[in-house]
Amino acid sequence: MSVFFNVCIAVIILGFATFTNATPIERHVFAVSANNGGTDRPILRYAKTDAKSFVAVLSEMGGVQKNNAILLHEPSIKKLKQEFDQLDRRILESKKNGARQELLVYYSGHADDQGLHLGSEIYPWSDLRKRIDAMNASVKIAVIDACGSGAITRMKGGVAVPAFMVDASSDMNGYAFITSSTQNEASQESDRLQGSFFTHSLVSGLRGAGDASGDGKVTLSEAYQFAFNETLQKTQTTLGGAQHPSRDMNLTGTGDVVITDIRNTTAGLILDEKMEGRLFIRDDQNRLVAELQKISGRSLELGLPAGVYKVQMVIPEHNFVCDVKLKEGRKEKLSNQKFSRVELSKTVSRGDVATDTTKKERRRRVTFNFIDIEDQPRIGSQFGVIMTSAEDEMAGSQFSLLLNKSRKEYSGVQLSVVGNLAQKMDGIQVSTVYNIAQNLDGIQISSGLNQLKEKSNGAQIGSINLTSDTLKGIQIGAINGANTVNSQIGSINWAKKSNLQISSINHASNVDIQIGSVNNAKNIGKVQVGVVNVAQKNDGRSVGVINICSNCKKAPIGLINIVGNGVWSFSATVDESANFIANIRLGTAAFYTIFETSRSFNYNEGEFDKGMASGLGFGTQFGRYDTHFDLDFMTLLDYKNWSPSKIGSFDMDMDEDFNLHYRVRLGATYKVFKGFGLMGGINANVVTEGSLSQVHIQPKGKYHAEWHIAGRDVRVWPGLYAGLVFGKF
């Protein structure tokens, strides 16, 4: 009895220690989408949508925090590598805090047996695999939804092993690659699904449809098997042919694998055990968010965000629908009794049946009317003398004199003399007065106004271009305004955030590069180039005639540099020739400009001479601010007989009116108290041009030398200076 008791106590203590010592997990998801696979490949429509869906389900149910989710659309290979490197550094830093790092990489777009097609570039499978293998995460998972993606698993051979994405008590390590098709197969997308067959099936499985064990958790093996069966079933009768997902896993360790946990969702839908049939679940935007074959005998729970959904259940020759409202903190149970029967023929045109009904949904036709209005999905063209309107989804073109309008998804070209309106568009809008789109992947061209209201990709070319949200592209026009935009080229540019602005007047809260006559920004990342540059904070460089910066990381380059955290001082000194010198320094300790004027005092006469020396130069400080050493170089015009009327005169004679005076000064400044200091040092003077006997600034004593070089008289002498300085130095 005592032995049994001791064994029980030991087991309890061991279990408690294992539980308390469980290593926390930090998950990262890196999703990449690319609709454009090069000039010889069709533009995809739903790659970005698929990536968003994948990230959404992992953020809602897979333990991925918002700041650990990356979405990258249409990247170059260089950009993709940079993002991989940056993420790897983050993972390595987080790893130091003791948390287990797990990474999911997702790609949706074009590919072949060579690699990923990112626009005109190809990222080889071998390079992608090596980069993912080299990531500092303990577990690396790659999900590739692209044609021929099975090539990445064929490199080492696909082997079915236990699932991974372990919970906090496991010590699993290794990698897994999941692909939407084999090496020689096409991966397909569907207008009915508004996404790819594979990703749609995978996401449905992760939301709970793939929970074969009924434990409220979905492992990778369960999600993969569900996606495999669903993808194969949906593609057996398509033109692209049957599509077989594949996998390659190499994982070691112990523990169970969980990708999503339905039990932790704040809202959900519980399907009664007696329900049986093909289920389609759509949100309030009529988007298909989940699809599955429900079998009777056990209940099934799906994790969904709070909202209103329409659930359709199809069994042979029968069709049932039900509206469901999911609330935060509640899970709604759905049974057969809550469905209403409808005629199956009524749902065919809406695409709510299990088969892909793209051809039935979008009728191919071309119409011409005075006012052409289409309320059915269409593939073709609309010609309207006054206007055209597409009330449902359309792929094709609209032409009219007054107005083209599309209320749902539109793919193609809108061409109008006056204006174009679109809700969600992939294509081109061309008009003379205005183009307005809620969301656009394409180009707006107008001699008047172009406006985008939501996140878009492409270009705006017009007199006035406005984007209320984010435009991943370029604006070219007289006036450009955007919340966030990659590039702006015009006469006046305004943006909260931009990578590049080129214009006469540029204004931005955060911008990397500004090039223009007048540039103004709150934060500069790289460079400002212009006549006048103004910035509150500049981490780069300002190059211009006038540079004004509250806080500069690097020294601006210009004639007048006013830097809040730099040098702005006034000094009054006297030198060895009894010249009283006043100068102003503006810039930073590394580089400042100097504006100077001086006059010589004649002690014998008791008054200032008629001459004056004025000019400008530049300098640098050694050491810190306040007490320091400094080195200056000045170029001065030495007027022999100065008068205000001669300033700015274009008919001054070099020999009769002024000489050129060059001076190098090395000295030290000592801070007495804040804003006041003493300065002094040595200098070297060179005067050339004209008659040296007429020079205003003359050396005292015999310590000078004179030469005649290349037809010019040159006088050189050393000197001293001392005086006071005021301001920031």
Strands (E), 344-455: 363-374, 378-390, 394-400, 403-416, 419-431, 434-446, 449-452
Q: What is the DSSP string of 538-582?
A: ESSEEEEEEEEEEEESS--EEEEEEETTSEEEEEEEEETT-EEEE
The Cα 371–Cα 366 span in angstroms is 14
Position 348 pLDDT exceeds 50: no
Rg over CA atoms, the chain: 37
Last residue of a domain, one of 193, 228, 263: 263
Domain boundary among 213, 239, 263: 263
Same-domain check for residues 281 and 190:
no
715 & 698 share domain:
yes
Report the pLDDT averaged over residues 644-672. Answer: 70
Are the CB atoms for 116 and 110 separated by under 8 Å?
Answer: yes
The CATH number assigned to the domain holding 297 equals 2.60.40.10
Average pLDDT, the chain: 82
Does pLDDT of 167 surpass 50? no
Beta bridge mates, 716? 686, 705
Based on the fold, state whether residues 246 and 297 are members of the same structural domain.
no
Q: Quick one: 294 and 232 in the same domain?
A: no
296: exposed, middle or buried (C-beta count within 10 Å: 0-12, 13-18, 19+)? exposed
Structural domains of the chain, count: 4
Note the pLDDT of residue 3: 43
| Rounded Cα distance, 64 and 498, in Å | 28
Residue 10 forms part of a structural domain: no
What percent of the chain is modeled with pLDDT above 70? 80
| Pair type for strands 676-688 and 628-639 | unpaired
Asked if residue 381 lies in contact with residue 363, where contact means CB atoms within 8 angstroms, the answer is: no
Q: How far is it, in rounded angstroms, from Cα 75 to Cα 280?
A: 33
Domain assignment present for residue 719? The answer is yes
How far, in Å, CA of 500 to CA of 522, rounded? 14
**Shared domain check, 273 and 209:** no
Give the torsion sign (CA, 200, 202, 206, 209). positive
Higher-scoring residue by pLDDT: 297, 164:
297
- pLDDT value at position 690? 53
Question: What pairing do the DSSP bridges indicate for beta strands 712-728 and 676-688?
Answer: antiparallel
Alpha-carbon gap, residue 634 to 510, rounded angstroms: 37
Q: For 96-123, what is the mean pLDDT? A: 86
The Cα 654–Cα 643 span in angstroms is: 16
If you average pLDDT over each of 76-85, 232-241, 358-367, 596-605, which comes out highest?
76-85
| 151 compared with 421, residue with greater pLDDT | 421
Strands 612-622 and 592-602: antiparallel
Lowest mean pLDDT among 162-166, 252-256, 391-395, 443-447: 162-166
Do residue 577 and residue 621 come from a single domain? yes
> Does the predicted model carry a pTM greater than 0.85?
no
Q: Check the CA dihedral 9-10-12-16 and report its sign.
A: positive
Measured CA to CA, the distance from residue 364 to residue 700 in angstroms comes to 98
Question: Are 255 and 292 within one domain?
Answer: no
pLDDT (average), residues 585-597? 93
Per-residue pLDDT band for 343 (boundaries 50, 70, 90) equals low
pLDDT at site 81:
92
Cβ-based neighbour number of residue 254 at 10 Å: 10
- Among the residue ranges 277-281, 547-551, 695-699, the one predicted with the least confidence is 695-699
> Which helix (H) or strand (E) element contains residue 2?
helix 2-20
Has residue 677 been placed in a domain?
Answer: yes
- Is 322 a member of any domain? yes
Q: Is pLDDT at 236 greater than 70 in this prediction? A: no
* First and final C-alpha spacing in the chain: 86
CB burial readout 522-535, b (16+ within 10 A) else e: ebbbebbbbebbbb
Is the same domain home to 78 and 215? yes
Tell me, yes or no, whether 11 lies in a domain: no
Does 166 have pLDDT greater than 60?
no
**Cα–Cα distance, 303 to 450 (Å, whole number):** 40
Amino acid 603 reads: Y
Residue 26 has pLDDT above 80, yes or no: yes
Among residues 335, 359, 383, the one where a domain terminates is: 359
The CATH number of whichever domain residue 713 belongs to comes to 2.40.160.20
Mean pLDDT, range 399-413, rounded to an integer: 93
Boundaries of domain holding 438: 370-447
Three-state DSSP class for 555? coil
Least confident of 60-69, 293-302, 354-363, 374-383: 354-363
Q: Within a domain: residue 545?
A: no
Q: Which of 589, 492, 500, 586 has its CA nearest to residue 546?
A: 586
Residue (of 702, 709, 716) closest to 661 by Cα position: 716
For residue 255, the model assigns a pLDDT of 54
Is the pLDDT at 691 greater than 60, yes or no?
no
Structure tokens at 126: 């071998």
| 149 secondary structure, DSSP code | T
The structure tokens 């492409």 sit at 458
Asked, for residue 259, whether it belongs to a domain, the answer is yes
Residue 699 reports pLDDT greater than 50:
yes
Tell me the two tokens of residue 491. 């006469």
- Residue 658 has a pLDDT of 67
Q: Do 205 and 353 have their domain in common?
A: no
- The token pair that represents 324 in the structure block: 């469901």
Which one, of 606, 610, 605, 613, lies nearest residue 575 by Cα?
613
584 within some domain: yes
Query: Which residues, in sequence order, are CB contacts of 328 under 8 Å at separation 6+?
Result: 266, 267, 306
- C-alpha distances in Å from residue 497, one per residue of 22, 437, 470, 524: 42, 21, 9, 10
Rounded to 5 degrees, φ, ψ at 14 are -65, -40
Q: Which long-range contacts (CB under 8 A, 24 or more apart) does 617-621 make?
A: 617/593, 617/663, 618/587, 618/591, 618/592, 618/593, 618/594, 619/585, 619/591, 619/592, 619/594, 619/665, 620/589, 620/590, 620/591, 620/592, 621/567, 621/589, 621/590, 621/592
243 and 287 assigned to the same domain: no
List the structure tokens of 11.
Answer: 């087991």
SS3 of 653-685: the string is CHHHHEEEEEEEEEEEEEEEECCEEEEEEEEEE
Q: Could you give the CA distance from residue 269 to residue 303 in angstroms, rounded to a whole number?
A: 7
3-state secondary structure of 314: strand
CATH for 211: 3.40.50.1460
In sequence order, which residues have a C-beta less than 8 Å from that of residue 701 and are 6 or more positions away?
A: none
Contact 136, 95 (CB under 8 A): yes
pLDDT, tens digit, for every residue of 217-233?
A: 888 778 888 877 877 77
Which residues 6+ apart lie within 8 Å of 663 measured at CB? 617, 632, 633, 634, 636, 683, 684, 685, 686
Mean pLDDT calculated for residue range 667-689? 92
Q: 257: Cβ–Cβ under 8 A, 6 or more apart, which residues?
A: 162, 163, 164, 165, 166, 167, 170, 172, 219, 220, 221
409 with 343, same domain: the answer is: no
Clarify whether residues 202 and 147 are in a common domain.
yes
Please choose, from the candidates 184, 200, 188, the residue with its C-alpha nearest in 3D space to the C-alpha of residue 239: 188
